[in-house]
Structure formats: structure tokens, C-alpha cells
Chains A and B, each alone.
Chain A
Amino acid sequence: MLFEPFTSRAIRIPRKDIDTDIIIPAKYLKGTDTSGLADGCFAELKKDAQFPMNRPEFKAAKIIIAGPNFGCGSSREHAPWALVQSGIRAIISSEFADIFRGNAEKNGLLTLQIPETEVQELFEMDELAEITIDLPEQKIITEQKQYAFQISQFSKMRFIEGLSDIDYLSKFSEKILDFEKQRCALLPRI
């Protein structure tokens, strides 16, 4: 599988601490599968007609630019599910909450961390300007400038080669069995 660079307009949410309740409120967490979450994505913000996700110009947007500490709060994987179902493939911020970031990665959603000053530059661009994300080259490309981002080799492989954690873990099944034997005595059994 090849991870082709992709280009789109970007939805800007210039606000810090965008929590998982903002990304998807709890009342949308009642399903027993992963489908049908796009409606709940940013449900409160969408009440504002001017919110980019409501505007036709951003219908095809695949990128969100947000303030620091994006995804703080709960561990609900519904947050990345809802974003992906809304067509989002990458989020750019200067800081991400741990659990959200891990969940995003397992769902093919890129979390691109760059310094806050660079995020501010992106916020200041023309709102209809297009941005390209080039994962193999680790670059965010605008008409004016290129921004480098860091990503671990392992994470990059997850995206580029579609490596899943469970496939990786499965290779260690014998080692896990051995490990369990020596821990068992210490643990409660229910």
C-alpha cells in the first residue's frame, strides 16, 4: 500500500484544549458499532452556520488545523472514528492529548505536530488556500512554505504499509504465553 500525498483546504479551529466532548458529545456514543458518527462530529460547533464544516467550500476538506492540546479528555475512540467519517485525514496542532493520538493512529488519522508559531502561520493563511500533506517526505506544504514534522518510523509504517498493532503483537504470541506464566501467581483471578 502506498500513502500518496493529498491536498485539500483546511478547517481551522483556532481554540486550545479541544476536548473529546467537543469532538463528539457523549449522547452520540450509544452505538454498538463504529458507524454513523459523522453527524455527531463537532455537533455543538456545527450549530454555528459559519463553522467551516457547514460551508460548501470545505465539503472536501481533509485537514483540520487546531489550537494546542487537541483531543484532551476521554479515551473514546469515537472521536477519531467521527473525524474519519467526516472525511478528515490529518490534524495539525502544536500538541495532542496522548490517548487521542494513539487512537487516531490506529484509524489512519494523521496527527501532525509542529511548533505553535508555525501553526499560527497556517491559521493566518487565506482560508481557502490548499495544503498538501506528504507523509513519506514528512512535510506539510503550502504555496508559500514547507513545514517539516516528526513521526516515528514505526508510526510511519503503520500508515504507509498498513501495519496493524494486532499483526505485530501476534508475532509474539509464544513469548506472551511464557510471560504470563511467570506473572500469574501475583495476580487476582476472577
Chain B
Amino acid sequence: MPRNIIEKIWDQHIVSSQEGAPDIIFIDFQLLHEVTSPQAFETLRKRGKSVFSPHRNMATVDHSLPTDQDRKNFADALNQKQIDTLRKNCKEFGIRLYDVDSGHQGIVHVTGPELGLTQPGMTIVCGDSHTSTHGAFGALAFGVGTTQISHVLETSCILLNRPKTMRVHFVGKPSQYFRAKDAILALIQKIGVQGGTGYVLEYTGEFIRNCCMEERMTICNMSIECGARAGLIAPDETTFAFLQETPFGKESLEEKKVFWQSLLTEKGAVYDADVTLDIDGMNPFVTWGTTPAQSVQIHENIPEKEELPESQQSLAEKSLQYTRLSFGQKISGLPIENIFVGSCTNARIGDLREVAAVLKGKKVAPGVRMFIVPGSEQVEKQAIAEGLNKIFIQSGAEFRRPGCSACLAMNGDTIASGERCASTSNRNFVGRQGPGAITHLMSPFMAAIAAIEGKIMNPEEIEEEISSSSPRL
């Protein structure tokens, strides 16, 4: 029977499949960071075990690290202890750590791909739900809990039930300001925050094929926001060209390519579910509530209560109470106090280039704090080489050091209670960016527009000329 790419990758990793038990799945690669790994290493230590294959694990520090210039002003002693613990664990168990100033420290989902460690057909896990990012390369990548991290450390395997598969097919040609971030927000709005639960998604369609690797990572990154543990995009020449430029990706690339091409979905293969998303003429998306599905296109108003399905009305009411907005309110024109450009969703060089293109020769609006946090030291270095840092600083924005920062606000980078933040991150949950902080998710382009205007704005309604160079590399 013809199989899709998800089924093929799964089948290639089954160590054992027994009736009445989850499959034993071989994990090719594991990424580690300071927050979810200490207890897993401790488990290993207590069991008196070593790491099954240290050379197929890598670690970096991201969540707890300060992003100020010297990166020593920890929010509290616990943040520092987590990082020191990771250093100690990596040393003891022989795991490669991309530490501060290694040239590759960064958000784990930015660092892995830029090194070329994420490759098609691999199974990749990390104690972080945005591990789905790596699906952009045609890998089956998903978040796991700390107990499973310890299983992978000890055995390179985990127990998991075979997932269902869903094809998400994009059709149509969106408006000129619509970006990859908008495509995934459009999907989440359509199928809901639980619509992908139990599935692994394969994204297809011309829009996807035209996306560069960074844009594909943005889309796959937020698969988890519709409940899907993983989402992937079949590898193609765009994927191979990206890998060719990376230190680990270029090794035996030609031989591997033949294998990678054999992974593609076969003709006639079916999925457990099929979703077609028509993005024709669509405009950029902005969230108004406290789930990533509560969004509108920039020209639209927040829905009226009765326009929403009954099952969503009560949550929408609570969400609007938190975000201090009303049913039917216009989203364009909403004043904003903070702009955060960062996170594993949108802090790669293409994102920073696009923000710089908008900011160049302009000023961040008075009273607005804009901070830009590169995804990794490599992104930071490239941004400096291109002079993007100067554009940011001249416009009045802060250019900080790499890390997760205000995406989940556990390193001290927070948004004040009651203030709004135009954020390029992935979650607008209650209190996510700080107690009482109000998050509006959007693309880096839309965040940059909000920065110069001091409010969330429809780019169509702006009189001055704006540069909208697409981030494609």
C-alpha cells in the first residue's frame, strides 16, 4: 500500500511493534536545554547508567539565560544554577554543549538546524514542545517530557503510539504582506487549538514549496499550537541547498540525497485526515485573545460573540476580559507599548532582515519599547556583519543577546502587567510574557509596522512608504 512520508519515517524507526503495546521508536537525535533536562540526568545517575550514544545528543542554553550585553545578570540564582547544572551534566555524560560564546549558543531550535544537525528522515526529540520546528527539513520531530528525555539518554528509544496523519494543503495566492507566520495562524484559526491533536501534519501546496527553510521552520514550529505534536514538510532542493551551507549538513550530502528523495509521499497514499486551506487574498493575522486560534486578519474586527460557535463563546469572553478588548472591536489602530522580535518561531536572520527593512531610516514610535533578540549567536553575528544592529539601534530599538527571552519570560525579560506586546513568538497564553501581560502574536513584518506606528496597523492603511522585502534567502 502506498505510504505517506510520515508513515515511512515512522516505519523506518520501529525497533519493535507489538500488539497491545506502544511502538518502540528509535530516536536519531536529541536536543537538550537547561530547563527540562536536569531531572533526566539525575534519573540516569540514580540508575547508574551512561548515555547510549552521546554523539547523537547536543545541548545549548536558552530559556534561563539573560539577554543583556554581558549575560551575567541572572534574574535569580535558580536560573544560573540550571545553566551550571547543564554544564556539569554535559561534561559528566560527554555531551556536546554549545555554551555562551561558543559561536552557536542559541535557542535550541535555531541552533540545531543552523549546524545542519536536523536532516530529512530523522526522528528528533527535545524536552520542548516547539521541537516540531525541525519538521521543516522533513524530519519527524516532537516535544517530549523529562521522563522521556531520560529514556532517550539511556536507550535512544521511546515508547509511543503510532500517530494519525493529516495533510494540510495550502492553495491560493495571499496578499503581498502575508507571511509564513500568517499561514500557520490561519491554519490554527481554522482547525482550532485542538484540531491537530493525535496527528502529525504534512504541509503541502505551492505556498509551502515557495517558502525558504526559515519560513518552513516558522510554520512547523507552531504545529503544536493546533495540538499536533509534529508537522513536517517533504524535503526538496530548497532543503538540500540549505544543508549544503551547514557544517554537519554538507557531509555526504550527495549520497544522502538519494535516500532522502525516497522518503517522499507515494502516489495514491492516503492520510487519516485532509485539510485544505485557501489563503487566496488573505491578509496578515493578529491574535486578539489568549489562545493562538483567537485571531483575525488585520482588516477585520474581533468577531461578535454570536459569530463564534457556542462552544467558544465563554472562553472568548474570558480572553477578551484579560486582553481588555471587546467583541466587534477593530484590531488595526490598537495602541501598543512593547514590541518583541524573537523566539524559536521568528528570530532567524531572514526575520531580522525584514524587521530592519521596515525600520531603516525610521524611528520606533515614542513611548514604545522595542527589543530584538536574535535566535542564536550565529544569527547575531550575521546581523552585525550586515549592519542590521545599527539600523535597530538608530531606530531606537534594543538589540539584545540570543535566547528565548520574553517568549516565556523566565529569564527576567518580561512585559509589565496590563501592557500590550506585539510579539513574534508563538503563545499568547494568560501571563505567558509576565503576569497580566497582553500578547498579540504576529509576523516580524507586522511587529515592525507596529513599532514605527505605535499601534497595530494594517500596512495597507499606512501613508508612508514601507519596505516589504520578503525574508526569502
Contact = CB atoms under 8 A, between A and B. Distances in A.
A76 interface: yes
A183 B58 CA distance: 18
A186 B121 contact: yes
Given A77-B146, A187-B122, A188-B29, A30 B55 contact: no
Given A16-B315, A21-B427, A75-B129, A175 B16 contact: yes
A86 to B, nearest CB: 18
Contacts of A179: 15, 26
Interface string B37-68: 01100100001000011011110000110000
Contact of A165 (B36, B38, B159, B315): B159
Given A29-B35, A153-B20, A44 B429 contact: no
Interface stretch (A50-58, A65-73, A138-146): A65-73
Interface of B: 15-16, 20-22, 24, 26, 28-29, 35-36, 38-39, 42, 47, 52-53, 55-58, 63-64, 76, 78-79, 81-82, 85, 96, 116-117, 119, 121-122, 127-129, 131, 142-148, 150-151, 154-160, 193-194, 197-198, 224, 227, 229, 248-249, 251, 256, 259, 291, 311-312, 314-315, 318, 408-410, 427, 429-432, 435
Given A165-B159, A190-B96, A15 B318 contact: yes
A160 interface: no
A99 B29 contact: no
B29 A68 contact: no
B428 to A, nearest CB: 10
A30 B52 CA distance: 27
13 contacts: A26-B408, A27-B410, A99-B144, A99-B229, A102-B160, A154-B22, A170-B155, A172-B15, A172-B157, A180-B156, A188-B116, A190-B57, A190-B58
Contact of A190 (B22, B56, B227, B249): B56
A15 B311 CA distance: 10
Contacts, number: 192
Contacts of B24: 169, 172, 176
Given A16-B315, A170-B155, 11 more contacts: A31-B38, A44-B431, A69-B197, A75-B144, A76-B36, A98-B197, A153-B20, A165-B147, A179-B15, A186-B121, A188-B249
Given A30-B64, A175-B16, A176-B26, A187 B431 contact: no
